[in-house]
């Protein structure tokens, strides 16, 4: 699979989500105290991401 979401625990013990494409991290989220909150972040990105606008601040 060329792309995937990963839930992992950081050094502070918080759950985070990172999105990888071809094993390169494209983005990661803030830390969450509950694993279910990290999963909710993934669900929200999947649901709302396709309609998100692009903002070019260059």
pTM: 0.84
Residue 33 is predicted with a pLDDT of: 98
CA–CA gap between residue 36 and residue 7 (Å, rounded): 10
Summarize pLDDT for 1-58 with one digit per residue, the tens: 689 999 999 999 999 999 999 999 999 999 999 999 999 999 999 999 888 999 999 9
CATH number of 3-46: 3.30.160.160
CA–CA gap between residue 39 and residue 20 (Å, rounded): 16
Domain segments of the chain as ranges: 3-46
10 Å CB burial of residue 15 (0-12, 13-18, 19+) is buried
Angle at 49 between CA 47 and CA 55, to 5 degrees: 155
At 15 the three-state DSSP class reads strand
């Amino acid at each position: 699979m060329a792309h995937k979401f990963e839930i992992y625990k950081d050094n502070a013990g918080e759950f985070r989500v990172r999105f990888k494409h071809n094993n390169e991290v494209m983005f990661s989220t803030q830390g969450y105290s509950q694993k279910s909150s990290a999963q909710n972040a993934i669900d929200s990105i999947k649901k709302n991401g396709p309609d998100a606008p692009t903002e070019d601040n260059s």
